[in-house]
Amino acid sequence: MSKAIGILLFTMLLSASALGQVEGERARIAYLIDSVAELHDAHFIRNGVEYDAGQAADHLRLKLRHAGTRVGSAADFIEYCATGSTMSGTRYQIRFSDGRTVDTAEFLRARLVQYAATHPD
């Protein structure tokens, strides 16, 4: 009987750990999307068309919903949702008010590093 209880407790511990990891990744993804939404002075370039921060964040949320189980981590989110257009293959970019342009994936990877520095696991 005690062996069964031990196995049950171990299984519960693993489940809780996995749930914590899932919640941690959701928080990281939300942080990344919020980082885009807060760039009010930037333009987001998707397939040659410029969009504002709110539209860009909405598009990333839509792609996240469509990605389904392919996105299990913030790194997956960047790869599958924020790197570029699945239709044209064109990379997403951010143009800042100073004229500097970066790939959205590059920007989000840097934000993920910042998140890790301020939110130790």
pLDDT in tens, 40-58: 999 999 999 999 999 999 9
Q: Does 58 reside within a domain?
A: yes
Where does the pLDDT of residue 5 fall: very low under 50, low under 70, confident under 90, or very high at 90 and above?
low
**In the predicted model, is pLDDT for residue 103 greater than 60?**
yes
Domain extent for 49: 25-118
State pLDDT tens for residues 57-67.
999 999 999 99
Rounded Cα distance, 11 and 5, in Å: 10
Count: domains in the chain: 1
Q: Does 14 reside within a domain?
A: no
Q: How many CB atoms lie within 10 A of CB 36?
A: 25
Q: Does 18 reside within a domain?
A: no
Burial of 60 (0-12, 13-18, 19+ CB in 10 A): buried
Q: Does 16 reside within a domain?
A: no
